[in-house]
A and B are shown apart, each in its own frame.
Chain A
């Protein structure tokens, strides 16, 4: 087995690995939990995985029926995550060990699976709560966006970074309570954006989004500088887009709507009593300490304009 070294952190985990994992944030004190990643062959993983006694936790298929993603769980062995041509991973029940079989080609593909499913699962198993959200840092505090898939939370975050916000995470946000405060952890330094949106950015804003890593599923993968570590979560926007909206509007959740927050939980298949209790506890802290809003965006409003509105609104909200 190759020796492992600490490579950096993401989602509140210090990552120790025997293989190269790019775009992790630098190791920092905020990550008090550790995940050890070990490279294995696909055959080794299959030999280690006791299919008998395992159950499907999640299965997604392409429209033509081909398997896109499979997650299976086993009470003793943990979880097996597999996406054809994107690699497979075994995650221990406590989330501290990840064994990975990576494809020789399709480097971006395995990284996407690893960052989108494997590391968030390890983080959740170690007691962090994960939301389906993107986030940036404004005035030293985390500002997060939840939205249904395809609504544009990544695009909104990208435009905010292009406008000078610091990048925190794309698509998955790991949270934990510390001293009564909800802390938002940084993710890997990667964000995906459509070529059309990238073209709307001026050169300075484009440069702030970092180097281009490649393309995947029609999106350009960029590597912005990540504001590594944890920041107190101050604002949470639930973004909805519709042609029915007459104009952009921010609507404060007064009183707070806990079910709307719980609906944005990531990895819904992970329903251990411990995770569910933690979810409810984090939700309680969010309701008590975080300003939450609906941000209604008419379909005709471009993302850069929406980002400007968020900048103005968040500046006002953070000053309260």
Chain B
């Protein structure tokens, strides 16, 4: 999986689940299954919530705003963690990230 550049504009990007990936949310963790590699990946409750919001939102900025408000924080406070989260899932081939309007 291609590494995203350091200055990648996450805020305006759209996140979608990779086509070969399925996931299930359980009470305390979310299990992501990569059907290409056969590997399971676990996310804690916070990570699972973030993934749901990213997949549903039109942009990372929208997901970030909803995520931050759910934890009583400002988006700027959680943005670094969300960036890292997105990068890690992307590096593992679990999500696709595209710039809105880039097709």
Chain A residues with CB under 8 Å of chain B are 255-259, 262, 268, 271, 273, 276-277, 280, 283-284, 287
Residues of chain B contacted by A277 (CB below 8 angstroms): 22, 33, 35
A259 with B35, Cβ < 8 A, contacts A280-B22, A284-B24 known: no
Q: How far is the CB of A271 from chain B (nearest CB, A)?
A: 3
- Is the C-beta of B71 less than 8 angstroms from some C-beta in chain A? no
Contact of B40 among A255, A256, A262, A284 (CB under 8 A): A262
Q: Which residue of B lies closest to A263 (CB)?
A: B40
Contact of B29 among A258, A268, A276, A280 (CB under 8 A): A258
Contact call A280/B28, Cβ cutoff below 8 A: no
Q: How far is the CB of B22 from chain A (nearest CB, A)?
A: 7
Contact call A258/B33, Cβ cutoff below 8 A: no
Residues of chain B contacted by A268 (CB below 8 angstroms): 38
- Is the C-beta of B42 less than 8 angstroms from some C-beta in chain A? yes
- Is the C-beta of B26 less than 8 angstroms from some C-beta in chain A? yes
User: In the complex the two chains form, what is the Cα distance from A212 to B35 in whole Å?
Assistant: 43
Q: Which residue of B lies closest to A275 (CB)?
A: B38
Q: How far is the CB of A161 from chain B (nearest CB, A)?
A: 33
A256 with B28, Cβ < 8 A, contacts A276-B33, A277-B22, A280-B22 known: yes
Contact of A255 among B22, B24, B26, B33 (CB under 8 A): B26
Residues of chain B contacted by A280 (CB below 8 angstroms): 22, 24, 31, 33
Q: Which residue of A lies closest to B30 (CB)?
A: A258
Residues of chain A contacted by B29 (CB below 8 angstroms): 257-259
Contact call A271/B22, Cβ cutoff below 8 A: no
Chain B stretch 19-64: residues in CB contact (< 8 A) with chain A: 20, 22, 24, 26-29, 31, 33, 35, 37-38, 40, 42
| Top-7 shortest CB links A-B | A271-B38, A255-B27, A255-B28, A273-B35, A259-B42, A258-B26, A258-B31
Residues of chain B contacted by A257 (CB below 8 angstroms): 28-29
Contact call B38/A256, Cβ cutoff below 8 A: no
Q: List 29 A-B contacts (CB under 8 A).
A: A255-B26, A255-B28, A256-B26, A256-B27, A256-B28, A257-B29, A258-B24, A258-B29, A259-B29, A259-B31, A259-B40, A259-B42, A262-B40, A268-B38, A271-B37, A271-B38, A276-B35, A276-B38, A277-B22, A277-B33, A280-B22, A280-B24, A280-B31, A280-B33, A283-B24, A283-B31, A284-B24, A284-B26, A287-B27
User: In the complex the two chains form, what is the Cα distance from A259 to B29 in whole Å?
Assistant: 9
Residues of chain A contacted by B33 (CB below 8 angstroms): 276-277, 280
Given contacts A257-B28, A259-B31, A276-B38, 10 further A-B contacts (CB under 8 A): A255-B26, A256-B27, A258-B29, A259-B42, A262-B31, A271-B37, A273-B35, A280-B31, A284-B26, A287-B26
User: In the complex the two chains form, what is the Cα distance from A273 to B35 in whole Å?
Assistant: 5
